Structure 1
Amino acid sequence: MHTITATPTSTWRLPIILLGISGLRLDRGTRYRPARVLLFALMTALYYLLTPVLTTPAVATAYAAAVWLLYYGGLCLTLGGPGRTALIARFGEDRAYALYEVVLGLLFMNQVFAQAVVIHAYGDSLPAAVPSWAACTTGAVLVAVGTFYKVWAAHTVGLDTYYCRDMFTGRPLTDASELVAAGPYRHLRNPMYGAGNLHAYGWAVWSGSPAGLAFAAAFQAGIYLFYHLCERPFIQRAYVRR
């Protein structure tokens, strides 16, 4: 996020943040919590059951491409197009947002699954000149740095911002006078989309997978495309110009 809103970070616990950025939100009420947990568990079980099929090169490539299109195409159509207004008109704002965030959470999960199958299908293929110890060390550092920044940024802005609730409702989460630069946003313009994605590259390097590196680059390009096409114009309209 280029601009963020002040959020009392003391209300967020690390496990809630980690689960939230993985696709399972447990911070919003209790009514749908059992259903969310069950859906998360079922999706994980389905992934493992389908692993032998998903990890074949052709299927892994098709799966990753489908997740990319659904994730970024869906975000752009929903938040930058008529999708959110149609959902709100049909279900009301609260129910529409609950439905949207569950679907977005599933896409977060499938993004991780997709990289896993791509790495499995095309792993251990770095040039022989790259020592295994160098790949493991570099990968571990990138995973650590990327995870740290992703969690720190999500902790700073809160999961509602992470799930683009302001864009879905079409209004700021707070008054423009309360806009702040905190946490990693004090020294990085866009830590969540930038440094926060280093873990994906690290996973690929650790696994010796050039295809995994290409996957990480494609998904990072996708989120920046969404940012420039949809999120940044919303921020300028709803926050900066108020």
Structure 2
Amino acid sequence: MISFIAPRALAWRLPTIVLGISGLRLERGTRYLPVRVLLFGMMTALYYLMTPLLMSPAIATGYAAVVWVSYYGGLSLMLAGPGRTVLVKRFGEDRAYALYEVGLGLLFMNQAFAQAVVIHAHGDTLPGAVPVWATCTAGAALMAVGTFYKLWAASSTGLDTYYCRDMFLGRPLSHTSELVISGPYRHVRNPMYSVGNLPAYGWALWSRSMEGLAVAALFQAGIYLFYHLCERPFIQRTYHRDPTKP
């Protein structure tokens, strides 16, 4: 659990995990680090410049739809289709994974940003009968719990698992060939996909956005669709434990 890590290790590990799940991996060595940092910075600047344009509800919704298809469709084609095979054949395993990892990091950034712009473009659309204090309290609680669980889960499995490195390579990352069952995985089967998605709902509630709640649900449905169609079959083939059982 994150809170039990030694303070000096936590001072490095926690920011690394936060940036890693946001799309920038700092712990992967220095070979591609300048490219990762440059792309992360350019994308962040682009988001800043694009935000005024995306405040139109129609444009924000269209952008979220494009990101949804690109993220879940692209990830599925890469990991369960011919994408990874083509990359590995062309660039070799290490360089192919590095390219895939940078691309996936950009998708991570876009899916979070897409939900954020929809929430802000469609803000204050909940019925007036719903008290503001209730939505703010519930929203803050969901954001706090979801963020904690997502960081805890990413810390327990490692960022390689967060980036589906085992699926990309087609083999387990551990010599034991077993799934992680420690940390939050003792309580929840898929903490990243379930509790880890609560911050999006929390933000939507905080902003009183009905459309934001709907988009959060659609993005969560997308990751579960990916899990059932792509990830779970891989786990059943590769690891000893059946992911359908507690």
Fold match by TM threshold 0.5 = yes
Q: 2:163 — aligned with what?
A: 163
Q: How many residues align?
A: 234
Matched, 1:219 2:222: no
Paired with 2:180 and 2:241, the residues of 1 have a C-alpha distance of: 15
Matched, 1:74 2:74: yes
Q: 1:146 — aligned with what?
A: 146
Q: 1:5 — aligned with what?
A: none
- Displacement of 1:178: 4.9
Paired with 2:116 and 2:110, the residues of 1 have a C-alpha distance of: 9
Q: 1:134 to 1:172 in 2, by over 3 A?
A: same
**1:59-70 equivalences in 2 (<5 Å):** 59-70=59-70
Unaligned runs of 5+ in 2: none
Matched, 1:34 2:34: yes
Q: 1:29 to 1:148 in 2, by over 3 A?
A: same
Deviations 1:73-99 (A, max 9, x none): 011100011110011111111111001
Instruction: Give the match's secondary structure for 1:208.
Output: coil
- TM-score, normalisation: structure 2: 0.91
Deviations 1:18-58 (A, max 9, x none): 00000001010012112211111110111111111112111
Matched, 1:188 2:188: yes
Instruction: Give the match's secondary structure for 2:30.
Output: coil
Deviations 1:131-175 (A, max 9, x none): 111111100000001001100000000000000000000011013
Q: 1:6 — aligned with what?
A: none
Q: Percent identity among equivalent residues? A: 75
Contact 2:179 2:241 in 1 (8 A): no
Paired with 1:52 and 1:177, the residues of 2 have a C-alpha distance of: 48
* 2:175 maps to amino acid: D
Unaligned runs of 5+ in 1: 1-8
- TM-score, normalisation: structure 1: 0.93
Contact 2:156 2:180 in 1 (8 A): no
- Displacement of 1:180: 4.2
Q: 1:25 — aligned with what?
A: 25
Higher relative contact order (CA 8 A, sep 6+): 1
Q: 1:209 — aligned with what?
A: 209
Flag as ranges the 4+ runs of structure 1 deviating above 2 A. 9-12, 175-180
